[in-house]
Amino acid sequence: AQRLLNSLTAAEKAALAAEQDRASRASADRVQLGNSTPASGRAGAAFSAAQTKIGSPYVYGATGPSSYDCSGLTSWAYAQAGVGIPRTSQAQANAGTRIYSQSQLQVGDLVIFYGDLHHVGLYAGNGQVLHAPRTGTVVRYESINNMPFQFGVRI
């Protein structure tokens, strides 16, 4: 991925940066989360903690307090709610009760993506996930449908 990024022209890099900036601003400005209820008091507390980190940069391996990777954000958020969960997305996938139907997800549930379970976020309600997407982005809301959903995990 870094090799590909290094091969971009200055104009392509500027266009990519502008698109990422627009996506991050749009995420914070236009997300309608609806009136979903949290899975539990702990899930609600974890979700509330994660919301305070919107705009924090993604850094691979980071667990806060100023930058995060995907599982670093979710483990940090649950720790703020007094709940210890494993550090990696693959381990978090086995940390609670699996939920295979998106319609059964509740705010604060972990949401696992990709066949190898390498990405995790927090369900935000109304088809949105709060997550730390990847290098070059920030913690933000995004449609759950932008990535291949595998299942949710209720802690």
CA dist 68 and 139 (Å) reads 8
Q: Is 70 a catalytic residue?
A: yes
Q: Which of 58, 31, 26, 46 is nearest to 131 (CA)?
A: 58
- Mind listing the pLDDT tens digit for each residue in 135-149? 999 999 999 999 999
pLDDT greater than 80 at residue 45: yes
**Alpha helices, DSSP H only, in the chain?**
2-7, 10-30, 41-51, 70-80, 89-92
Which residue in 43, 46, 70, 111 is the catalytic one? 70
| CATH number belonging to domain 2-154 | 3.90.1720.10
Q: 39, 93, 119, 155: which is the annotated catalytic residue?
A: 119
Task: Please check the confidence at residue 33 and state whether its pLDDT lies above 60.
Answer: no
> Among residues 56, 77, 129, 131, which one is catalytic?
131
pLDDT category, 8, cuts 50, 70, 90? confident
- pLDDT tens sequence across 55-107: 999 999 999 999 999 999 999 999 999 999 999 999 999 999 999 999 999 99
Q: What is the pTM of this model?
A: 0.79
Q: Averaged over 113-132, what is the pLDDT? A: 97
**33/50 Cα distance (integer angstroms):** 14
